Amino acid sequence: MDSKDESSLKDAEYQVAKIRRKGGYRAASFVFVMMLLDNVGFVANMVSLVLYFGSVMYFNIPGSATTTTNLLGTAFLIPILGGFISDTFLNRLNTCILFGFIELLGYVLLVIQSHDTKLQPSSPCGEKGCVHGRKAVLFYASIYLFAVGAGGIRGCVPALGADQFDNNDPKERKKLASFFNWFLFFITIGASIGVTAVVYVSTEIDWYKGFIISLACSAGGLFVIAVGKAFYRTRVSGDSPLLSVLQVLFITVKNLGTKLPQNSDQLHEIQSDESNLMKKLIPHTDQFRILDKAAVLREGKEPKKWEVCTVTQVEETKILIRMMPILFSTIIMNTCLAQLQTFSIQQGVRMNPHIGRDTIPPASIPVIPLVFMTALIPVYEFAFVPLVRKITGHPNGITELQRVGVGLVLSAISMAIAGIIEVKRKDEFKNHNHVISLFWLSFHYAIFGIADMFTLVGLLEFFYREAPEGMRSLSTSFSFLSLSIGYFLSTVFVEIINSVTRRVTKSKIGWLEGDDFNQIHVELFYWFLAVLSMINFGVYLLCAKWYKYQNAVPFESELVSRNDADLRNDEIEDTAK
């Protein structure tokens, strides 16, 4: 080896060593702090904006509820966009920073409108309040910039944190499972601060001061995530994952008349020397065989991008299709969650807020499940997982899909109890002229908090582990897509139930219509969701049983059996070349 090659080898060795020093929990800690700070404002506003819409913008009860669910539905739909951008155009860090600035702009506009009474409606006048003209422009611009910014952040940050652990290393894989638990842990800490301190400031002191605190915390979180740049393992964005899926679907349709070869080895795949060393080969499966037609190279055609797909491309599309039933099975649970941020908050306004000498703002009630989650996550991580691991043999104690199933059952129980509590509240008020304590809401909030702990982490880990490497931001954003559809579905349910019950009730008033909360039938809506949730759980069991976990293997099969030293030497030599 001449001196030039030796120098190149040393440079390559230095670069590989530098990469290996990055990542791990040191890098992930910046993600944890960022999510803690950002969720102070985000969750506080999730639970309190329904009151802002009613008390400041003068929306009525159903108007406040549907505006809130539409806003949150948008916030949790945008992660798909954030995931797409971070997988395709920008890396995950830069995407986070971009959407962070959009969120800050939304907060600035919220501060301006909530501070200046001239930019607010002067009196109530209908379901959508009196928001017209420039007031409406400012109002909708502020809340939807906030939603777009917060949503985009959530489309890339979970994958950015998970990227700091090697999913192909058994030791790192255990750390990856723990990462998602601690990710939720820090979210709950930030949310707990938000629904106590920030909600108190907003509802009891002044709304604009609460928005200023939210603005400051989000700005701090954005600064922290940017400071951590030197420590991250940053994945370079590549070809559009959605474009790859569309390519598979397009060529499948074009090749519908083409006969599939009997041997799957005859399907088109790039050779190992054409691929990146760490490119993952996804083995061919027989499921959704029709999509294999996209990997058939027709006679006389060149293997160009829109003429044929690789087997790996086809299998990536199959993976996304297989995950869709799991995603859709969690939507009803998130419709239930929407009620805890709309009707349950409005229930709390009609209840006794005093616990001892303290006055608890109704929008602060969600702190109860957050406290449960904050306490239970370490118990789950350090006690439950090791104990159950000995029984099941699974490294995470139970599988991701089992975690999701537990959450679905608990969410149904939560809705059933919520209906019972509402019946008690109305009975005490109507028959005994007694206003029951706000503390009664804690029962269904606490149960749902535990449900969320199981389901959200299970989904995030499931979508990250199962997704092809180039689609992980997009895939983890599916967890938030389920939330989005759940919130929009809540709006649809409210409209449909009002429309139907308006025709069949003697009063000709829908279950959820009017300004008098003691006359509407929220308890029936809760029970409707509880029954629907149990039916949904039955469907989920079928979907989970049908789903087969996939395991991507390295393109170079011999890499699996190499030890770390051999792999390190190969990386150095390839970099030197």
Under the banding of pLDDT at 50, 70 and 90, the label for residue 71 is confident
Q: Who has greater pLDDT, 514 or 418?
A: 418
Under the banding of pLDDT at 50, 70 and 90, the label for residue 218 is very high
Residue ranges per structural domain of the chain: 21-237+329-553, 239-323
Sequence-ordered list of residues with C-beta below 8 angstroms from that of 255, at least 6 positions apart, any chain: 293, 294, 296, 298
Share of the chain above pLDDT 70, in %: 84
69-83, 182-196, 451-465: which has the highest mean pLDDT?
182-196
What are the C-alpha distances in Å from 201 to residues 47, 96, 265, 442, 463?
14, 28, 65, 21, 37
Structure tokens at 300: 């006389």
Tell me phi and psi for residue 517, to 5 degrees: -65, -20
- Write down the pLDDT at residue 274: 47
CA angle, residues 535, 541, 543, in degrees to nearest 5: 105
Cα 195 to Cα 210: distance, rounded to the nearest angstrom = 11
- Region 357-361: mean pLDDT is 75
Sequence-ordered list of residues with C-beta below 8 angstroms from that of 388, at least 6 positions apart, any chain: 394, 397, 398
- Write down the pLDDT at residue 147: 92
> What b/e sequence results for 267-296 when a residue is b if at least 16 CB atoms lie within 10 Å of its CB, and e otherwise?
bbbeeeeebeeebbbbebbeeeeebbbbbb
pLDDT digits (tens, 9 = 90+) for 200-217: 898 888 898 999 999 999
Is 21-237+329-553 CATH 1.20.120.330? no
**Residue 19: is its pLDDT beyond 80?**
no
CA angle, residues 54, 55, 60, in degrees to nearest 5: 30
**Residue 430: is its pLDDT beyond 80?**
yes
- Region 403-421: mean pLDDT is 92
Under the banding of pLDDT at 50, 70 and 90, the label for residue 130 is low
434: DSSP letter: -
Q: Give the lowest-confidence range in 242-256, 294-308, 445-459, 541-555.
A: 541-555
Under the banding of pLDDT at 50, 70 and 90, the label for residue 569 is very low
Amino acid at 318: K
Under the banding of pLDDT at 50, 70 and 90, the label for residue 416 is very high
- Region 28-36: mean pLDDT is 91
Reference 464, options 486, 479, 482, 485; nearest CA is 479
- Write down the pLDDT at residue 280: 67
What are the C-alpha distances in Å from 69 to residues 53, 184, 223, 314, 419?
12, 22, 30, 36, 20
Under the banding of pLDDT at 50, 70 and 90, the label for residue 9 is very low
> How many other CB atoms are found less than 10 A from the CB of residue 560?
9
Structure tokens at 391: 């029984």
Cα 190 to Cα 366: distance, rounded to the nearest angstrom = 12
pLDDT digits (tens, 9 = 90+) for 490-511: 888 888 888 888 887 777 777 7
- Region 392-402: mean pLDDT is 79
Pairing of strands 553-554, 354-355: unpaired
Q: Give the lowest-confidence range in 5-19, 264-278, 339-353, 466-480.
A: 5-19
- Write down the pLDDT at residue 213: 94
Reference 407, options 438, 380, 442; nearest CA is 380
**Residue 143: is its pLDDT beyond 80?**
yes
- Write down the pLDDT at residue 570: 41
Residue 114 CB burial class (10 angstroms; 0-12, 13-18, ≥19): buried
